[in-house]
């Protein structure tokens, strides 16, 4: 049997990058158009900052085979669109019965989770905490702090990501906004439409 070779990577907390990564992608403001509640504030921010980087992911993957593992580091810039904190696009795993973990390296964040039926959970992330994202939960991270939010993550290599599940419902059910005194609070997303029973069943069959 031909074995894979061991690997080693470093976490550069200051730059929010995985040293020795095999893969990198970034999301800029333009990539996140349509995700925020306040479209006028979003356009203002685009005018002010141009197509600025919002988050960056560097990861290490030997394969996307079942049983293998992908891990990496995500760095999200601090900021708000109107009252709403910067967020990642969010996804459910395309093989939805795959979990994930996130480990806080620096900064303060919230993992926002939504079940297929529309239940919402939030997990507060700070350095040296580990968030377990169970199978079947849609998840997105939100930077609620004044500094970069840096997290290390790991998930089964064949998990895959599906973004359409969020687009179909007009976004996730809840938004994370400034509570007016430096903290955060959860508010309803006015554009949200729930999923049909057929759609929910499709998710629970495992392949989105
Ligand atoms: Zn994920």
Q: What is the pLDDT of residues 30-86, one digit of tens each?
A: 999 999 999 999 999 999 999 999 999 999 999 999 999 999 999 999 999 999 999
Instruction: Answer yes or no: are the C-beta atoms of 148 and 56 closer than 8 Å.
Output: no
How many Å lie between the centroid of ligand 1 and the Cα of residue 47? Answer: 31
pLDDT given for residue 76 in this prediction? 98
How many Å lie between the centroid of ligand 1 and the Cα of residue 102? Answer: 9
CATH number of 10-204, picked from 3.40.50.970, 2.60.120.10, 3.30.390.10, 1.20.1070.10: 2.60.120.10
How many Å lie between the centroid of ligand 1 and the Cα of residue 156? Answer: 9
Query: What is the percent of the chain with per-residue pLDDT over 90, rounded to a whole number?
Result: 98
> Hunting for tokens 């459910």 — which residue is that?
92
pLDDT given for residue 182 in this prediction? 84
Q: Is 195 a residue whose pLDDT tops 90?
A: yes
What are the domain boundaries of the chain? Answer: 10-204
> Hunting for tokens 């495992």 — which residue is that?
206
What is the DSSP secondary structure assignment for residue 45, as one 8-state letter?
H
pLDDT given for residue 184 in this prediction? 97
Beta-carbon neighbours within 5 Å of ion ligand 1 = 100
How many Å apart are CA 205 and CA 199, to the nearest integer? 10
Q: Is 102 a residue whose pLDDT tops 90?
A: yes
How many Å lie between the centroid of ligand 1 and the Cα of residue 158? Answer: 11
How many Å lie between the centroid of ligand 1 and the Cα of residue 191? Answer: 23
Q: Is 208 a residue whose pLDDT tops 90?
A: no
How many Å lie between the centroid of ligand 1 and the Cα of residue 177? Answer: 22
What is the mean predicted confidence (pLDDT) over 128-139?
98
């Amino acid at each position: 049997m031909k074995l894979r070779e061991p690997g080693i990577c470093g976490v550069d907390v200051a730059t929010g990058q995985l040293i020795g990564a095999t893969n990198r992608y970034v999301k800029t403001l333009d990539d996140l158009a349509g995700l925020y509640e306040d479209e006028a504030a979003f356009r203002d921010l685009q005018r002010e900052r141009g197509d600025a980087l919002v988050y960056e992911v560097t990861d290490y993957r030997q394969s996307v085979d079942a049983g293998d593992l992908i891990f990496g580091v995500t760095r999200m810039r601090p900021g708000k669109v109107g009252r709403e904190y910067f967020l990642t696009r969010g996804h459910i795993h395309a093989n939805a019965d795959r979990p994930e973990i996130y480990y806080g390296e620096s900064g303060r964040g919230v993992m926002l989770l939504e079940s297929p039926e529309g239940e919402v959970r939030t997990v507060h992330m700070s350095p040296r905490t580990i968030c377990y994202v169970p199978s079947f939960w849609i998840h997105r991270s939100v930077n609620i702090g004044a500094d970069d939010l840096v997290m290390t993550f790991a998930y089964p290599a064949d998990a895959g990501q599906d973004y359409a599940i969020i687009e179909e419902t007009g976004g996730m059910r809840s938004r994370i906004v400034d509570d007016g005194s430096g903290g955060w609070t959860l508010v309803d997303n006015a554009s949200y439409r729930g999923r049909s029973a057929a759609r929910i069943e499709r998710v629970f069959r495992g392949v989105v």
